[in-house]
Amino acid sequence: MTDLISRTPGALADAERWTAHNYHPLPVVVAGAEGAWVTDVDGKRYLDFLAGYSALNFGHRHPALIAAAHAQLDRLTLTSRAFVHDQFASFCQGLAELCGKDLVLPMNTGAEAVETGIKVARKWGYQVKGVPQDQAEIVVAANNFHGRTTTIISFSTDPEARNDFGPYTPGFTIIPYGDPAALESAIGPNTVAVLLEPIQGEAGVLVPPPGYFTTVRELCTASNVLLIADEIQSGLGRTGKTFAIDHEHVTPDMYLLGKALGGGIVPVSAVAADRAVLGVLRPGEHGSTFGGNPLACAVGAEVVKLLQTGGFQQRSAELGAHLHARLGALIGHGVLEVRGRGLWAGVDIDPALMTGRQAVERLADRGILAKDTHGSTIRLAPPLVITADEIDHAVSQLEAVLR
């Protein structure tokens, strides 16, 4: 009779009592997970349609990733970058080759990868492009999400992310997303980089108009400006290709990676770029105590291996087409619009029916975990190990919620 008394309310109250309220979680207390499924403290099972904002692209506790982590835990976990360790080069080589770049700089969180990209672009601007000291400008898009540091929120357009956290870091120009003419007029002689998400996730899974990145690439090349692709959420198989920008047949100068790179086990992020760019950093100029640690590299190397075969990318493309076909059928039945690529969808719920928050609460009651964003949009991003039947089940639950 263990299920007479739910453990959920007590666990939620404890979390509320002892933590800063910088999140508004769904009332689900997770205790275990495997693949695409999570189990709460009461033994209720849910299909995970958020996948840790793409940090769990390979599902919860992927056997190869867990095995790599276990093996590394038994050998060596941390050295700091004061020494080299035996997992370092192979992870960085594998990732560099996956990206088609010369070099990799490993960090931990996504925000650190973005900060690294900003610092490298500025230094490149002063040392290579010849921009006058402290005049470097970086162009970013409205409704961006690149993380939570003081510099990154300085160029956020989301009042929640930004308000009361000033003074703000200067040196950023904000333009509308998907508008090449706006980019052309924003680029000036001191512009060192354009920093963009190939698909804007947090903004509601906004896919830019066809050809946008081709023009962005041309403008950057013509003006000697670095194109930095923040693939932290969109990359590593999520959209049906290794990187979302691959859909545009465009190669950025810098890839920013994170989330799924840590296999859902440890925070691992990285910047990948050619020597002409990343080579501007000299010893002592940038770093992180935990960046590129042995455990992170062992897991990250296994993540790279999972992506080398292309199997996950193909799965995401095929099952993504299925997901989008099923979701498309809901348009006019409580859904206004569906956007996205691969196993990634932003679904605009008719606000006359309910808010996005209400929709994800009702989905959770029905055993589907998803997350709302910006009022009436819900984001679906299941682990790439999800099956077609599980997708069908989740979409039927959404259909029932909207009925």
Ligand X SMILES: *Cc1c(COP(=O)(O)O)cnc(C)c1O
- Tell the smallest beta-carbon distance from residue 189 to ligand X (Å): 28
How many residues sit in the footprint of ligand X (CB under 6 A)?
15
- Tell the smallest beta-carbon distance from residue 92 to ligand X (Å): 19
Which of 35, 117, 201, 291 lies at the binding interface for ligand X (CB under 6 A)?
201
Phi, psi (rounded to 5 degrees) for 117:
-60, -40
- Tell the smallest beta-carbon distance from residue 110 to ligand X (Å): 2
What H or E segment, with its residue span, contains residue 71?
helix 63-73
Question: Considering the rule CB under 6 A, would residue 56 count as an interface residue with ligand X?
Answer: no
Q: Tell me how far apart the alpha carbons of residues 146 and 85 are, in angstroms, rounded to a whole number.
A: 30
What H or E segment, with its residue span, contains residue 322?
helix 311-328
Which residues in 146-185 contact ligand X (CB under 6 A)? Answer: 146-147
Residue span binding ligand X (CB under 6 A) among the ranges 93-101, 109-117, 180-188, 373-381:
109-117
365 is catalytic: no
* Catalytic, out of 123, 129, 241, 259: 259
Residue 12 identity (one-letter amino acid): L
Which of 116, 233, 373, 377 lies at the binding interface for ligand X (CB under 6 A)?
233
Rounded to whole angstroms, what are the CA distances from 359 to 27, 33, 164, 201, 214?
Answer: 13, 23, 30, 18, 36
| 153 exposure class (CB count in 10 Å sphere: 0-12, 13-18, 19+) | buried
| 278 exposure class (CB count in 10 Å sphere: 0-12, 13-18, 19+) | buried
Question: Considering the rule CB under 6 A, would residue 228 count as an interface residue with ligand X?
Answer: no
Q: Tell me how far apart the alpha carbons of residues 358 and 376 are, in angstroms, rounded to a whole number.
A: 9
Question: Considering the rule CB under 6 A, would residue 114 count as an interface residue with ligand X?
Answer: yes
Which residue's CB is nearer to ligand X, number 205 or number 307?
205
Which of 59, 110, 208, 291 lies at the binding interface for ligand X (CB under 6 A)?
110
Residue span binding ligand X (CB under 6 A) among the ranges 10-18, 23-31, 143-151, 379-387:
143-151
Which of 57, 87, 109, 373 lies at the binding interface for ligand X (CB under 6 A)?
109
CA dihedral 112, 309, 385, 242 (to 10 degrees): 40
Binding site for ligand X (CB under 6 A): 53, 109-111, 114, 145-147, 197, 201, 230, 232-233, 258-259
Residue numbers annotated as active site? 145, 230, 259
